[in-house]
Structure 1
């Protein structure tokens, strides 16, 4: 929720950028500006939606001044820990951390379906990170420039992303089959972990929902252990 003020010091962008985050994008702002101090119009148009392009290109550039970072929620524009805590507690920035797929709700997100589940805190944190696509799967590491293998550590066939690890790898099918969690809640096609977890929340009773959380955490833990020397699912 911080934003930059340029030239005259006034905040120059709206609070939200509507363009979905592209995990393959490894550019900083200076890469959008020519050495002459003007915007690289074609580059900007190729990266952002029209409404964001118009807002960005409308920003005046003054290469002779240092940009200032503003905090939207304080009148003096300086960030305070108490201010950030208050905003987080109110849930106003729940959807601001970018992911490659965005939020299932398309805006501000209510995460109570995670935080109120009676499971160990590390499991709740894992599910929240999974919904935000913040887990270091091989696929995510590759997208961020990491030199890692991208295949599933169990089957060696599928792409090592989170949903493959949790529901699509044929090794995990056996786990779900033995779990008493209704298979139809995990067998549908999903491409967003948050959408899948919310589907579980809608379709399972409290006990089975807690069990599903635990199973997901164990599957993730077991998958990461494969990189530490255990080659296959046991």
Structure 2
């Protein structure tokens, strides 16, 4: 169920012709406006976005429903460009054309699963842009991916039985231990 919710978050509502319900569609991205007000006046039940956004300006005075100031401020900040050639619809955020593919959904799911506990996804692409020899960039990239040939990595793959550091014989030989924590390395 969690993966379906994460996939649902990959879609966003995009206005086209503005024919969507003003109060009962999540077109502004903050939920249905009907949930932001105490009640929707009966006169406004059939109002569409295009009825309230006229000639590039919001006409809130056409509404009988009282909209809170913070919601009006949010709506005023939105970039609205109605196009009568395109219908309002949900589109996929994962690519520029807005079309969903299974590959995009899989990538989105893996990204959202990876970043559940983080605010931003960690990317190491910056390593390839630093002014250093390729072998140094490769070493840094390998270390950042925890893929240096350490005894712990070989033990995990079933190649070694003992994963102690050969220099200090105290702790496991991990990437962080080799580069920072080993007493032998601290001398340098």
TM-score normalised by L of structure 2? 0.37
Structure of greater Rg: 2
